Amino acid sequence: MIAKTAIIHPGVQLGDDVVVEDFCIIGAPFKGQPDGTVTSIGSGAVIRSHTVIYAGNVIGDNFQTGNKANIRECNTIGNNVSIGTLSVVEHHVRIADDVRIHTQAFVPEYSILEEGCWLGPQVTVTNAKFPQSPDVKNQLSGAIIKRKAKIGAGCTLLPGVTIGENALVGAGSVVTRDVEPGSICAGNPAKFVRKIHY
């Protein structure tokens, strides 16, 4: 079902049983967009009202957004991914299967979110070590959030950090260095607390 108020641009391919709610924009053009750019969204998607998805995204099955999500161009997004209300995913981001991004999160360009990782509400990932420096665009480095890592609400991840597989970052933490797999860290700056016991 596609709402009458939704805008679907040329080059958009939608799978079966896709719901696009009121005032969504799918396949919005971007600066320098090559001719023939395709935007693909798999079957079973639910795209809630006022969401904007730019051109060049390749998105798997069972995708869903909250209201007013903004997804910039040329991302690769797997199956069973959810991006919450008012969250922003910038361009050239890789999001694997089963990722959950909660409300008001920010994921900048060149970030990598591996399978099953989880970002709580208002998580901010950064990618510019020296904002407004002359060569800033060539030095951008997003975070790498490994498989099944969990980032608590209100955390900030500094550019280029790696959050290890199955790690847990406590709410409100500021992560300035890599987090070891299977560990808990918390605080500002975030420090090792203990290993996770299974």
pLDDT in tens, 20-77: 999 999 999 999 999 889 999 999 999 999 999 999 999 999 999 999 999 999 999 9
Same domain, 85 and 121: no
State whether 67 and 115 are in the same domain.
no
C-alpha 84/C-alpha 102 separation (Å) is 5
Structure confidence at residue 140 (pLDDT): 84
**Residue 67 resides in a domain:** yes
State the pLDDT at residue 198: 67
Indicate if the pLDDT at residue 149 is higher than 80: yes
Question: Does residue 82 sit in the same domain as residue 169?
Answer: no
The reply to whether 32 falls in a domain is yes
Question: Has residue 174 been placed in a domain?
Answer: yes
Mean pLDDT (the chain, rounded) = 95
> Domain of 3: which CATH number?
2.160.10.10
Q: Domain check: are 3 and 81 in the same one?
A: yes
Classify burial at 119, counting beta carbons within 10 Å of its beta carbon; exposed 0-12, middle 13-18, buried 19 or more: buried
- 63: in domain: yes
Do 77 and 134 sit in the same domain of this protein?
Answer: no
Extract the tokens encoding 145.
Answer: 């959030």
Structural domain boundaries enclosing 187: 103-198
Q: Among 60, 92, 124, identify where a domain stops.
A: 92
Residue 168 token pair: 């847990």
Q: What is the DSSP letter of 91?
A: S
Same domain, 108 and 198: yes
CB neighbour class for 50 (10 Å; exposed up to 12, middle 13-18, buried from 19): buried
On whether residue 97 sits in a domain, the answer given is: no
**pLDDT at 8 (0 to 100):** 96
Provide the percentage of residues in the chain whose pLDDT is more than 70: 99
pLDDT of residue 128: 87
Q: Tell me: do 110 and 170 sit in the same domain.
A: yes
Residue 195 CB: number of other CB atoms within 10 A? 12
Could you give the number of structural domains in the chain? 2
Same domain, 189 and 108: yes
- Among 73, 92, 111, the domain-final residue is 92
Encoded tokens for 2: 């596609």
Same domain, 188 and 151: yes
110 with 197, same domain: the answer is yes
